[in-house]
Structure 1
Amino acid sequence: MSLPPLPPSFTDPTLLSTLQNFLKTHAQTTCFTPMIPVAEKTAYVDRIVHGLRDESATWSQDVFIHVLSALRILLRESVGCDALYSVEGTKLLVLHAGLGPNEYQTTPHTTEGLKCLCNVLLHYPPARGVVWDVGGVEKSVEIIKDEGLGSEPTFLILRILFLASVEGEVVQGILKKGIVGILTERLERLVKIPVAGMELMVLNEILKVVFNISDGETECTGLVIPILDLLLSYPLPTPPLSPPISHAIHTLLHFPTQHDIWFPNDDYALLRKFVDILELTVGVHGEDAEEEVRVGGILLDEMCSPLVLVLVGVARGDVRARAVMRDWIMPKDIDRSQPLDKGTTLTARLIRFMTSITYPNLRQAVSELFFILSDESPETLISYIGYGHAAGFLYNRGLLPSASAPTEGIDPITGEFSAQKADEEWKAMSEEEKEREAEKLFVLLERLNRTGIIKAVPKLG
């Protein structure tokens, strides 16, 4: 791999053909080092940035676009891009992205500038503060309000707002006051139509911004209805917890359950869909509680925990929904012919996570869910799933009962039918095996009688 040599001056007429050669060669390149020495890439980026800053007065728009496109590709990898990972470098990109003091116009020039700025904000978090300091956030808010803005610049502006608001409470406050209304309108429009391509990317970015800026306060509650509509109407992707479903579920972590909005007329279709998504997702996990499973490269612990926490919030905040969920997740007619963590039912799979070391987030979230579905009663929880599955969670919560009266006929550790298990084992024996077991029992009783540990009482007349 090599980088085409740049001309000694960026006013040289060969600059455009050099950049075209670069773009043709590296259109799909995501990593330049170590095939190219870091020092060589650094010098290359430095030279382009110097030209963009000091030698661009006579450039045509075509040259500007090619220069910014080359920087966008080089910025896919953070190594060697120090010239742009700085205050001055970020300010330069803000101007070329159209976020400076001049009126914004959607052009190929500003679109490439926005892409470069997005890459810098992603790889160099300090740049997010620079964008705020120079007014780039306020300018982005102003731009996103334009209903005529195209899908690609809309996506890029939303990506900038998402990255700028990841950790900045001030930015989150500004966005909450400035764009909740427009985000609500855009969501309402997008959930009514089939979305794909760039529109789907816009939808995902809106949901990510909503997650950053929402905290259950009243000014954000208008966003809930279109998010719930999306969750009900959007066809499940593969895997089910993929964008936009996963992003929508994440946003619900910040909103309290309101029965009339979430489950109007006691319609629990939304809740049923949540449970179905959970069942489909954990269905890839086997009977080994410590088997590390990844779905689409994401650890199951990270993928499923937000959904379980949403179910925890629903169960805690809505008594009627809790009762419905209890019937689905903790059915009264559960199969107790084997330990409850055995099998392929959703209940069995969830119980397995309660003692897993590999899935700490799911272990905590699932345990919390079962506890709330048990009306936060340690005794009820233990009587249903068994002491062994519940002990760790209850101990950590300081709720472990000093004694627990087992439900008659149910193994207090595993939750299975103990009497039924013994009866099945007896019936499975041959007559010879039964006779040998009876002889063992007779010898044992005789020994205990002779040593005085127990005494046989003669039957009286």
Structure 2
Amino acid sequence: MASIGSLTGAAKLGAVTKLLDSLTKDLESQKLTTEQRAAALDELKVYGRDPRDADPIFTKEGITTLTRYAFDVETISTSQNALKCLANSMLIKPGVRHTFVELGCETKACALLKRDTWDDEFLLSRVIFLTTYGTKVDLEKLIDEEGLAETVIAKLAKHASLANSAGKETAEPMRGMALSETLKLLFNVSHFCKAKVDAFTPAVPHVVTLIKAHNVPASQPLEGPLSPLINALVNLNLDTPEAREALYPEGDKQTLFVDRLIHILDLSMDNPSDEELQQTVTPLLAVIRLVYEQAPDTAKTHIRGRLLPTADDRQKVLGRGKTVPAKLLRNCTNALTPQLRDIISHLLFELSDKDAHKFVENVGYGYASGFLFQNNIPVPQNATSGDISQNSSSGRAVNPITGQFLDQEIEPQVPEMTDEEKEREAERLFVLFERLKKTGIIDVQNPVEQAFREGRFQDIKDDDRIEELD
């Protein structure tokens, strides 16, 4: 007998049709046992992973049957099996999302999300999340009437509580997967329904707690729930007493959270691809920028000390080292990551009090010039003249273009030319200018000829032979 995954063509289509017919009839007759329903739904789930020859699953009738098993059947295992089929169908076929909303099932999903299992949280958060793409789902109604914000916050509160408890290292995998789906749902709803974003403000302390508690692998610092945790803060209002208390607690822990973010940033910028930088580090920098904007003065000073070039960075040309400021500067000119490049430049400008003079002093004119021109910000008159020669924090002279301390610049070690080498170079220069004059394109004065007239050149000895350039 052929296995489920091996069926194709008419055989697969026939099997899918038979399963759906059986499940649809059982909604009225209820002749199947719980085990038989579970087996049928599981088989249907496998068939639905590949939409070829599985058309009945994606029809309105097929989705109606699955939604009834998902939301109208009391047996949790049966409901979850049906939700798995629905989640796969909505992911594979965008049209199914419209059907799901048309049937009014998003409100049922919000109600069922209150069910307290990791599988339910994972499945229902994903299903609601998928309705935010390509449908006319009324998110305001889900927040106001179905309590979506309160449910999401309660889920995050539970995750935060468990993250701080003993034994968090041995958490079951489904818990982390459920958290990721809830965070993605939070991000999309707060992005697409900005009018109700304040309803999610109580989530900020829980997200902050989870970021501080989460292990940060050195090789993949933004893997697992950490990336969606950071993304979740991008749309939320951090300018509330509740949010500020979580972000900047009183005492010696005031900068603990931002230091955590900068540590993640440091690891995240070590040898990733440009695509990874653009997708994962850009939101992280957006959050750091928001945190800095709302930070008290003492925390702002600390952040500037961590992200702006230090005296150690200025021992060489800025952007050449392995520090966080050096990594930021290298990437603020990366042509392959325009969004990342833009947010780094804006962050560094804001760290410089939005003052062009301070900005040039902090990062060097070489890094500052493009941002200033692009944003129509007047360039300080002394930026390129060499007048900006003192670093305010150290009092030492710096190169205004590269930001390096002048006393650390190394002159190129070029050996002294011999008289013969000088003569040969002069002859080459003479020949090049003579050829250029003959083209008639420009009228140019040969500097070698002029040097002879002014008595600044010695005659070449007769026995010296100089080869003409080819």
Look up the equivalent residue of 1:162 and give its one-letter code: F
In structure 2, what is the equivalent of residue 288 of structure 1? none
Q: Which residue among 120, 126, 136 is the counterpart of 1:153?
A: 120
Q: Which residue among 71, 74, 80 is the counterpart of 2:47?
A: 74
Deviation at 1:91, TM superposition (A): 1.5
Give the 3 Å change call, closer, same or farther, for CA 453–73 of structure 1 in structure 2: farther
Indicate whether 1:373 and 2:342 are aligned: no
Look up the equivalent residue of 1:277 and give its one-letter code: I
In structure 2, what is the equivalent of residue 256 of structure 1? 237
Deviation at 1:319, TM superposition (A): 5.5
Q: Which residue among 288, 304, 317 is the counterpart of 2:294?
A: 317
In structure 2, what is the equivalent of residue 138 of structure 1? 107
Look up the equivalent residue of 1:305 and give its one-letter code: T
In structure 2, what is the equivalent of residue 17 of structure 1? none
Secondary structure (helix, strand or coil) at the match of 1:217 reads helix
Secondary structure (helix, strand or coil) at the match of 1:398 reads coil
Give the 3 Å change call, closer, same or farther, for CA 186–400 of structure 1 in structure 2: same
Contact 1:90/1:130 (CA < 8 Å) preserved in 2? yes
Gaps of 5+ in 2: 163-167, 390-396, 427-446, 457-470
Give the 3 Å change call, closer, same or farther, for CA 373–68 of structure 1 in structure 2: same
Indicate whether 1:359 and 2:334 are aligned: no
Contact 2:309/2:362 (CA < 8 Å) preserved in 1? no
Q: Normalised by the size of structure 2, how large is the TM-score?
A: 0.75
Contact 1:283/1:344 (CA < 8 Å) preserved in 2? no
Give the 3 Å change call, closer, same or farther, for CA 188–53 of structure 1 in structure 2: closer
Deviation at 1:373, TM superposition (A): 0.8
In structure 2, what is the equivalent of residue 49 of structure 1? 20
CA distance in 2, matches of 1:336, 1:448: 43
Contact 2:281/2:340 (CA < 8 Å) preserved in 1? yes
In the alignment of these two chains, the number of paired residues is 401
In structure 1, what is the equivalent of residue 266 of structure 2? 279
In structure 2, what is the equivalent of residue 10 of structure 1? none
**More displaced, 346-355 or 61-70?**
61-70
Contact 2:211/2:226 (CA < 8 Å) preserved in 1? yes
Deviation at 1:45, TM superposition (A): 3.4
Q: How does 1:59-98 map to 2 (within 5 A)?
A: 59-97=32-70
Look up the equivalent residue of 1:234 and give its one-letter code: H
Indicate whether 1:232 and 2:199 are aligned: no
CA distance in 2, matches of 1:185, 1:37: 44
Give the 3 Å change call, closer, same or farther, for CA 278–69 of structure 1 in structure 2: same
Q: How does 1:428-443 map to 2 (within 5 A)?
A: 433=415
Give the 3 Å change call, closer, same or farther, for CA 451–351 of structure 1 in structure 2: farther
Identical residues among aligned pairs (%): 24
Larger radius of gyration: 2
**More displaced, 45-54 or 228-237?**
45-54
Secondary structure (helix, strand or coil) at the match of 1:117 reads helix
Q: Deviations over 1:410-441 (max 9, x none)?
A: 33333224553245x46xx7xxx35869x97x
Give the 3 Å change call, closer, same or farther, for CA 417–398 of structure 1 in structure 2: same
Contact 1:314/1:322 (CA < 8 Å) preserved in 2? no
Contact 1:231/1:248 (CA < 8 Å) preserved in 2? yes
In structure 2, what is the equivalent of residue 13 of structure 1? none
Look up the equivalent residue of 1:324 and give its one-letter code: H
Contact 2:306/2:324 (CA < 8 Å) preserved in 1? no
Secondary structure (helix, strand or coil) at the match of 2:400 reads coil
Secondary structure (helix, strand or coil) at the match of 1:367 reads helix
Deviation at 1:54, TM superposition (A): 5.5
In structure 2, what is the equivalent of residue 206 of structure 1? 182
Gaps of 5+ in 1: 5-20, 27-31, 286-291, 455-461
